[in-house]
């Protein structure tokens, strides 16, 4: 294994080949969209065309990076189950072919892989000693490890990081528009009028588009919002900055519409840390405050009512979550070293809180992991987070907008803090978007060092 040895890269510039690559990526995404609605014969033709484009332009890793960002943030897997995993498997094959062609058989392994591999193996194999009826599914182990392998090798230059966030911006727009579309249909179709008499406040409805849960949608948004905001405030191409601005605005709107406490607090964390590096922070703070005020006025959400319910105690979810955490502490002592096995918390908490309507997880990843896989699993997971934090620079707080790696570092740093908060308020041990982000953070430091080394070599 060769750890983090990659050649120095070119400076970030948009040459003709990069523009062609971006156009090809957009075309491929369009073909995927058309695939969902046309017949089998046309699907075969589109598949052959997409494969031809992929083979013709496989030498540009930026295409794969951009598509990966889009797939993760748009949650296309909601429409086509397994599509994201299939995409990463295809990219993995392409990466191997690229290495065979260049006769560079080394792989970009790093210390991050050690706790990840052990944690994933330990956590998911704990089903072997779990006294639960949860079926064992080894496919998720493959999904996590495949995703981490591909992301670590694919995103090994600032250009591919930039391409990923461009794709992520399109994905955020897709997700946000889906949530807004759901709200518009809710109020224009007459559904709101029909149920207005059966709920306390129709304005407290939560909208999350095609996602399964508003909390998971908002958590995914905040994990990548910092990078998008950083590129918006950078000195990149005008069109890219415009794209990032639109994605950031719509992402904040979608988070507001989800009424997710985790997402809202995460947004505040990201915005606060991004303002800390901004030279014109007071102007930007005024702009953001005005933007949020406009969104709260226009969007069909009652954020203040939601906050009032939480403070008044009308919303019982806070007391339920506290009860879940206390129950988790009790269940932890059943087997503190190796844990009681994956799924134990969900099955055993019913005996401590029999009034729950159905199986619950603890809404805290650390508690869930500690109960299910003990101190061993918890220590390994914390080690993964430590390597993610170590991959970023925490010393530089005065950032030049023309320094793209430094701007990305600041944005990812803000999102990482918000993501750890999300980890502490939801169960996300196997959440793929978070593993993608942790991998990006863990390997970003060596990527920047190679970028700086390339710049130094050209100037000397």
Give the pLDDT confidence score for residue 33 in this predicted structure.
Answer: 65
The answer to the question of residue 119 being in a domain is no
Task: Name the residue range of residue 83's domain.
Answer: 2-106+155-315+391-459
**Of 264, 194, 241, 219, nearest in space to 435 by CA:** 219
The answer to the question of residue 308 being in a domain is yes
The answer to the question of residue 362 being in a domain is no
The answer to the question of residue 41 being in a domain is yes
The answer to the question of residue 434 being in a domain is yes
Give the pLDDT confidence score for residue 51 in this predicted structure.
Answer: 58
Number of structural domains (the chain) is 1
Give the pLDDT confidence score for residue 246 in this predicted structure.
Answer: 93
The answer to the question of residue 380 being in a domain is no
Structure tokens at 334: 């059943």
Give the pLDDT confidence score for residue 56 in this predicted structure.
Answer: 45
The answer to the question of residue 261 being in a domain is yes
Show pLDDT as tens, one digit a residue, over the chain (460 residues): 444 444 445 444 444 455 666 666 666 666 666 666 665 555 556 565 655 555 544 567 788 888 889 999 998 888 777 778 888 887 887 777 777 766 666 666 678 888 999 999 898 888 777 666 566 667 788 889 999 998 998 888 899 999 999 999 999 999 999 988 887 777 666 555 555 455 544 445 677 788 888 889 999 999 999 999 999 989 888 999 999 999 999 999 888 888 888 888 899 899 989 988 877 777 777 777 777 777 666 666 655 555 555 555 555 666 677 778 888 888 889 888 988 888 787 777 777 776 666 556 778 899 999 998 999 999 999 999 999 999 999 988 788 888 999 999 999 999 999 999 999 988 888 899 999 999 999 999 888 888 777 666 555 5
Give the pLDDT confidence score for residue 203 in this predicted structure.
Answer: 47
Give the pLDDT confidence score for residue 244 in this predicted structure.
Answer: 95
The answer to the question of residue 78 being in a domain is yes
Burial label, 285 (beta-carbon count in 10 A; 0-12, 13-18, 19+):
middle
- Distance of alpha carbon 382 from alpha carbon 353, whole angstroms: 28
């Amino acid at each position: 294994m060769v750890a983090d040895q990659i050649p120095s890269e070119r400076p970030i510039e948009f040459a003709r080949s990069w523009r062609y690559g971006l156009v090809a990526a957009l075309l491929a995404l369009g073909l995927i969209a058309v695939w969902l609605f046309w017949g089998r014969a046309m699907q075969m033709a589109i598949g052959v065309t997409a494969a031809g484009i992929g083979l013709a332009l496989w030498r540009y890793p930026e295409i794969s990076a951009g598509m990966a960002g889009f797939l993760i943030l748009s949650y296309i897997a909601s429409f086509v189950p397994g599509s994201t995993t299939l995409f990463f498997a295809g990219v993995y094959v392409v990466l191997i072919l690229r290495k065979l062609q260049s006769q560079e058989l080394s792989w970009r392994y790093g210390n991050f892989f050690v706790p990840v591999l052990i944690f994933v193996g330990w956590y998911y194999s704990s089903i072997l000693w779990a006294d639960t009826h949860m079926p064992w599914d080894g496919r998720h182990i493959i999904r996590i490890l495949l995703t981490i392998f591909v992301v670590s090798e694919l995103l090994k230059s600032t250009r591919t990081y930039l391409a990923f966030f461009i794709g992520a911006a399109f994905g955020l727009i897709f997700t946000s528009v889906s949530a807004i579309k759901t709200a518009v249909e809710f109020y224009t179709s007459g559904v709101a009028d029909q149920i207005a008499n059966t709920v306390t406040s129709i304005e407290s409805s939560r909208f999350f588009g095609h996602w399964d849960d508003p909390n998971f949608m908002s958590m995914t948004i905040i994990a990548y919002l910092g990078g998008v905001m950083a590129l918006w405030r950078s000195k990149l191409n005008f069109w890219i900055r415009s794209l990032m601005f639109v994605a950031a605005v719509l992402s904040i709107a979608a988070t507001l519409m989800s009424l997710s406490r985790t997402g809202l607090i995460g947004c505040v964390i990201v915005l606060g840390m991004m303002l800390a590096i901004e030279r014109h922070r007071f102007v930007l703070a005024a702009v953001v405050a005005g933007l949020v005020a406009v969104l709260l006025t226009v969007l069909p959400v009652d954020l203040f009512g939601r906050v009032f319910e939480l403070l008044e105690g009308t919303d019982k979810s806070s007391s339920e979550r506290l009860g879940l955490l206390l129950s988790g502490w009790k269940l932890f002592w059943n087997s503190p070293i190796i844990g009681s096995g994956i799924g134990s918390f969900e099955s055993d908490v019913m005996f401590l809180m029999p009034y729950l309507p159905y199986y619950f997880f603890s809404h805290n990843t650390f508690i869930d992991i500690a109960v299910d896989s003990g101190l061993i699993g918890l220590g390994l997971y914390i080690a993964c987070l430590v390597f993610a934090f170590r991959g970023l620079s925490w010393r530089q707080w005065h950032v030049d907008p023309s320094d793209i790696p430094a701007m990305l570092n600041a944005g990812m740093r803000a999102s990482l803090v918000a993501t750890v908060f999300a980890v502490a308020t939801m169960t996300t041990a196997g959440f793929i978007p978070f593993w993608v982000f942790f991998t990006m953070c863990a390997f970003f430091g060596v990527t920047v060092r190679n970028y700086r080394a390339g710049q130094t070599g050209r100037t000397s």
